[in-house]
Amino acid sequence: MTKLSVNINKIATLRNSRGGNYPNVVQVAKDVERFGGQGITVHPRPDERHIRYQDVRDLAPIVTTEFNIEGNPNLKFIDLVLQNKPTQVTLVPDAVDAITSNAGWDTVKHKDFLTEIISEFKNNGIRTSVFVDPVAAMIEGASKIGADRIELYTEAFADKFTISPEEAVRPYTESAMLAHSLNLGINAGHDLSLKNIAYFKEKVPYLLEVSIGHALIGESLYLGLETVISNYLKALK
């Protein structure tokens, strides 16, 4: 079964839009786990426009499933991860002003940089995952920098899914098979939703984890968080 890690950034965005502490991200994380979610994902950015660094510190001791911290490994981010020691850190090459993650790492160009950072995290007992496009050279590069897993960037799949599901998923199927042959675990995330997750799960082998936030929270406005999490879990069996 593929694990569902729920990204709760959008909960923090809603909280921050009004001020105060409602909705409370710690309580939502507890509820996600109570409803069956198998992980909590956060992506703190330098401007703290959604998840704040203090949120990470508050979440670390209460998450009982898997805690995944995503982000661009600047010095502040590295310190935050080492201080809170999540189950997994996912390295994402997003710019400071990026609205959302929009590209995977060039694992060849940034080989030395990523190797050093990954080594530091692994020495502290933290599983490492690298955000990559479904491109063979980038996956092969990930296998040479010490990463435990890759996270396949799935926006291209989601964009093409309604036009041609077979064409949309083919690079991801091939990428997963390659990654598995290189002893890399496979995660996936970005624009996965209830509309496409079952097909993606069916066609992409060796899928260990999906991280879903934007769509899941949006769907929950209509169906409720507990129902939506349950629907994802059924699709991921």
What are the pLDDT digits (tens) for 67-113? Answer: 999 999 999 999 999 999 999 999 999 765 555 556 899 999 999 99
Say if residue 50's pLDDT is above 70: yes
Superfamily holding 3-235: Aldolase class I (3.20.20.70)
> What pLDDT score was predicted for residue 103?
80
Give the pLDDT mean for 179-192: 97
Can you give the residue ranges of every domain in the chain?
3-235
Say which of 43, 50, 151, 209 is annotated catalytic: 43
Measuring CA to CA, which residue among 204, 228, 231, 226 is closest to residue 218? 228
Tokens of 22: 């409602």
Between helices 225-235 and 25-34, what is the axis angle to 10°?
A: 50
Say which of 33, 70, 151, 219 is annotated catalytic: 70
Mean pLDDT (the chain, rounded): 96
Ranking 9-13, 41-45, 94-98 by mean pLDDT, the lowest is: 94-98
Cα 26 to the chain's mean position, in Å? 18
pLDDT tens track for 119-170: 999 999 999 999 999 999 999 999 999 999 999 999 999 999 999 999 999 9
Percent of the chain residues topping a pLDDT of 70:
97
Q: Residue 43: helix, strand or coil by DSSP? A: coil
> What pLDDT score was predicted for residue 101?
58
Give the pLDDT mean for 42-65: 96
Q: Name the E strands within the chain.
A: 3-7, 39-42, 66-71, 88-91, 127-132, 149-153, 185-189, 207-212
The question of whether 43 is a catalytic residue gets the answer yes
Say which of 33, 151, 190, 219 is annotated catalytic: 190
**pLDDT band of 1, cuts 50, 70, 90:** confident
Contact 192, 210 (CB under 8 A): yes
Query: Could you give the angle at the alpha carbon of 87 between the alpha carbons of 27 and 179, nearest 5°?
Result: 125
CB-based burial label for 19 (10 Å; 0-12, 13-18, 19+):
exposed
CB-based burial label for 175 (10 Å; 0-12, 13-18, 19+):
buried
Alpha-carbon distance of 78 to 95, in angstroms, equals: 16
**pLDDT band of 42, cuts 50, 70, 90:** very high
Alpha-carbon distance of 176 to 203, in angstroms, equals: 10
Contact 59, 83 (CB under 8 A): no
